[in-house]
């Protein structure tokens, strides 16, 4: 596993029509992909509900992404548990 550098970089990205300067110690590619993901989620939500306010759409996007995070986390834990069971049988 390649260790990520601790150098903080700044990346400019447009989210929901506004420009944000995002600071992070990840790669520029990673930060841009993260910003693009949030932007797409907000667009997806407002597309289906054009009357929704922008702030509500952003909250819904955050809820949506957190739901994905929790589900993936559960799958990850299940996979780790399977590995543990495998170890104890060997």
**How many residues make contact with its own copies (CB under 8 A)?**
39
19 neighbors 12 (Cβ within 8 angstroms): yes
Please report whether residue 79 would count as binding its own copies according to CB under 8 A.
yes
* Shortest separation between residue 77's beta carbon and its own copies, angstroms: 10
Q: Give the residue among 5, 58, 15, 19 at the shortest CA–CA distance from 39.
A: 15
Please report which residue ranges of the chain form alpha helices under DSSP H.
Answer: 28-48, 54-89
Residues 11-40 that bind its own copies (CB under 8 A): 15-16, 18, 20, 22, 24, 26, 30, 33-35, 37-38
Measure the CA–CA gap between 52 and 31, rounded to whole angstroms. Answer: 27
Bridge partners, residue 21, by sequence: 12
Residue with Cβ nearer its own copies (29 or 50): 29
**Binding region for its own copies (CB under 8 A):** 1, 15-16, 18, 20, 22, 24, 26, 30, 33-35, 37-38, 41-42, 54-56, 58-63, 65-70, 72-73, 75-76, 78-80, 83
């Amino acid at each position: 596993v390649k260790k990520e550098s601790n150098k903080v970089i700044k990346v400019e990205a447009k989210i929901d029509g506004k420009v944000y300067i995002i600071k992070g110690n990840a790669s520029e590619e990673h930060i841009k992909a993260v910003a693009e993901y949030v932007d797409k989620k907000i667009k997806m939500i407002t597309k289906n509900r054009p009357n929704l306010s922008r702030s509500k759409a952003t909250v819904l996007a955050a809820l949506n992404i957190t739901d994905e995070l929790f589900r993936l986390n559960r799958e990850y834990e299940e996979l780790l548990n399977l590995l543990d069971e495998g170890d104890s049988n060997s």
